[in-house]
Amino acid sequence: MPKTLYDKIWNDHLVHQQDDGTSLLFVDRHLIHEVTSPQAFEGLRNSNRKVRQPKLTLAVVDHNIPTTDRSKGIDDKDSKIQVETLEKNCREFGVKLFGMDDKRQGIVHIVGPEQGFTQPGTVIVCGDSHTATHGAFGSLAFGIGTSEVEHVLATQTLVQKKAKNFRINVNGKLSLGVTSKDVILQIIGKIGTAGGTGCVLEYAGSVISNLSVEQRMTICNMSIEGGARAGLIQPDEKIFSYLKGRPMSPKNDKWERALEYWNSLKSDSDAKFDKEINLNGEDIAPMVTWGTSPEDVVSINGKVPNPDNEKNEDKKNSINRSLKYMGLKPDVKIQDIKIDKVFIGSCTNGRIEDLREAAQILKNKKKAEHVHGMVVPGSGLVKEQAEQEGLDKIFIKSGFEWREPGCSMCLAMNADKLKPQERCASTSNRNFEGRQGRGGRTHLVSPGMAAAAAIAGNLDDVRKYQN
């Protein structure tokens, strides 16, 4: 029977299957961070269990740590305890950790690929819903809860039931100024935040295969915002050359064997998908979210929706609720929305190409006087690379703050957060109520669009600013 890429990876990792379909799936790569792991390690300790495969596990601190000067450690008492708990747990259970002072430290989904820990055809899990990022490498990667983290630590497997196959084809070409962030926002707008529930997404088509490795990560990263636990892309030469020579990539004859296997990873041409949709690259404009759900998308040339045009009562209520929270009036032009802050970073858009994209727009320009701008590189290595290219100088000259790597204002667990009613153009992944700080208002955009908004002082079309 013809199989999809997801089917193949699933079959290859099946340790055991009950008659009712409940399966034990082998986990090749387990990523860990400080927020969702302490209770899992505590559980192991209470039941006298060990980490079954410490070498297949990699830990990093990211969610909770300061992005300002770290020489004095962490001010916040609870954050400090959480980071120290991870350090202690990693020592006790023999897990490799990139701590706060390690230059390889960064956001877990940026570090994995950077180190070559992420590899095609593997099953990758992490106690974080944006784990789907790694699907860009043709791996089956998804977020899990803390009880599941404990399960993986103890057994190196995960209890799962097979999901449905959902293919999203994006063909044609993207116009200038349109990025993979706009593609995924458009997809989420189309399928809705629950559109991918119960499914594994496969992104395909010429637009997808023409994307760089890092741009693909942005797409897979936001699969969860479309309701899917995992989203993946068939791996190709770009992926293989990205991985070659990375610290944890296979070496020598193992590399050759791996490559042979990786080349076999594709959906059969006659494979059946339970769901399939098609998008045209040419139809996608730079996108912005106007509301409090990632499905609330509109093109930069559009307007804030009017609830009076919505017939479904639940949807009308939900639009009204979002408008109230966002402090927006119906039918206002998106480009007339003034902003207070710009955040460039996160596991969605904190990689070197994202920083280059924003820097290119900001070069020789100043941010608007009233805007506060912040760039948070995704990892220490991204930061180092950006500094070698002089991007830090461009950001600083245009009036941005240049920070230390971490999750930062994407979820505002550390000191980086919006004040009530502050409005932010953000390259992150969620515009939920209170996500970036209580009462804060988030508009999700691409790095180029975030840069354009910083210059204009309002949401604006990046295509006006192409240097």
Partner 1 sequence: MKKFISLKSIPAYLPIVNIDTDMIIPKQFLKTIKRTGLGKNLFHEMRYDNDGKVINDFVLNTKPFDRSKILIAGNNFGCGSSREHAPWALLDFGITCIISSSYADIFYNNCFKNGILPIILNEEKIKDLSEYAKRKEEIEVNLQEEKIIYGNNEINFKIDPFKKKCLIEGLDDIALSLEKSSHINDFEKKLKSSKPWIFND
Interactions with partner 1, residue window 148-177 (CB under 8 A): 148, 150-151, 154-157, 159, 161, 163
Q: Specify whether the CB–CB gap between 444 and 288 falls below 8 A.
A: yes
Binding window for partner 1 (CB under 8 A); candidates: 75-83, 99-107, 338-346, 379-387: 75-83
| Binding characters for partner 1, 438-467, by CB under 8 A (x = yes) | xx----------------------------
177-206 positions binding partner 1, by CB under 8 A: 193-194, 197-198
Nearest approach, Cβ of residue 170 and partner 1 (Å): 23
2-61 positions binding partner 1, by CB under 8 A: 15-16, 18, 20, 22, 24, 26, 28, 35-36, 38-39, 42-43, 47, 49, 52-53, 55-56
Q: Where are the alpha helices (DSSP H) in 192-277?
A: 206-210, 213-221, 237-243, 252-262
Distance of CA 73 to the CA centre of its chain: 27
Q: Which listed residue (3, 104, 266, 321) binds partner 1 by CB under 8 A? A: 321
SS3 171: strand
Q: Which is nearer to partner 1, 206 or 432 (CB)?
A: 432
Q: Which is nearer to partner 1, 145 or 390 (CB)?
A: 145
Return the structure tokens found at 302: 């559009």
Q: Specify whether the CB–CB gap between 459 and 425 falls below 8 A.
A: yes
Nearest approach, Cβ of residue 390 and partner 1 (Å): 34
Residues 6 or more apart whose Cβ sits within 8 Å of residue 413: 35, 63, 64, 79, 407
C-alpha neighbours within 13 Å on the C-beta side of residue 335: 13
Q: Where are the alpha helices (DSSP H) in 64-145?
A: 77-93, 108-115
Classify residue 77 by burial, with Cβ atoms within 10 Å: 0-12, 13-18, 19+.
exposed
289-318 positions binding partner 1, by CB under 8 A: 293, 314, 317-318
Nearest approach, Cβ of residue 39 and partner 1 (Å): 5
Nearest approach, Cβ of residue 193 and partner 1 (Å): 6
C-alpha neighbours within 13 Å on the C-beta side of residue 140: 27
Write the CA distances from 69 to 74, 86, 386, 391, 398, integer angstroms: 10, 21, 18, 19, 21
Q: Which listed residue (78, 102, 331, 336) binds partner 1 by CB under 8 A? A: 78
Nearest approach, Cβ of residue 359 and partner 1 (Å): 29
What is the distance between the alpha carbons of residues 236 and 248, in angstroms, rounded to a whole number? 19
263-292 positions binding partner 1, by CB under 8 A: none
Nearest approach, Cβ of residue 272 and partner 1 (Å): 22
Q: Which is nearer to partner 1, 222 or 285 (CB)?
A: 222
Q: Which is nearer to partner 1, 237 or 314 (CB)?
A: 314
Q: Specify whether the CB–CB gap between 418 and 397 falls below 8 A.
A: no
Packing angle of the helix pair 108-115, 380-388 (nearest 10 deg) = 70
Q: Which is nearer to partner 1, 299 or 436 (CB)?
A: 436
417-436 positions binding partner 1, by CB under 8 A: 420, 430, 432-435
Site residue total, partner 1 (CB under 8 A): 80
Residues 6 or more apart whose Cβ sits within 8 Å of residue 339: 371, 423, 424, 425, 443, 453, 457, 458, 459
Binding window for partner 1 (CB under 8 A); candidates: 119-127, 133-141, 264-272, 359-367: 119-127
Classify residue 450 by burial, with Cβ atoms within 10 Å: 0-12, 13-18, 19+.
buried
Nearest approach, Cβ of residue 281 and partner 1 (Å): 28
CA dihedral 7, 8, 9, 13 (to 10 degrees): 100
C-alpha neighbours within 13 Å on the C-beta side of residue 385: 16
250 is an interface residue for partner 1 by CB under 8 A: yes
What is the distance between the alpha carbons of residues 125 and 311, in angstroms, rounded to a whole number? 41
Binding window for partner 1 (CB under 8 A); candidates: 104-112, 233-241, 268-276, 411-419: 411-419
Q: Which is nearer to partner 1, 261 or 309 (CB)?
A: 261
Q: Which is nearer to partner 1, 229 or 423 (CB)?
A: 229
Q: Which is nearer to partner 1, 412 or 445 (CB)?
A: 412
Q: Which is nearer to partner 1, 143 or 305 (CB)?
A: 143
Q: Which is nearer to partner 1, 71 or 312 (CB)?
A: 312
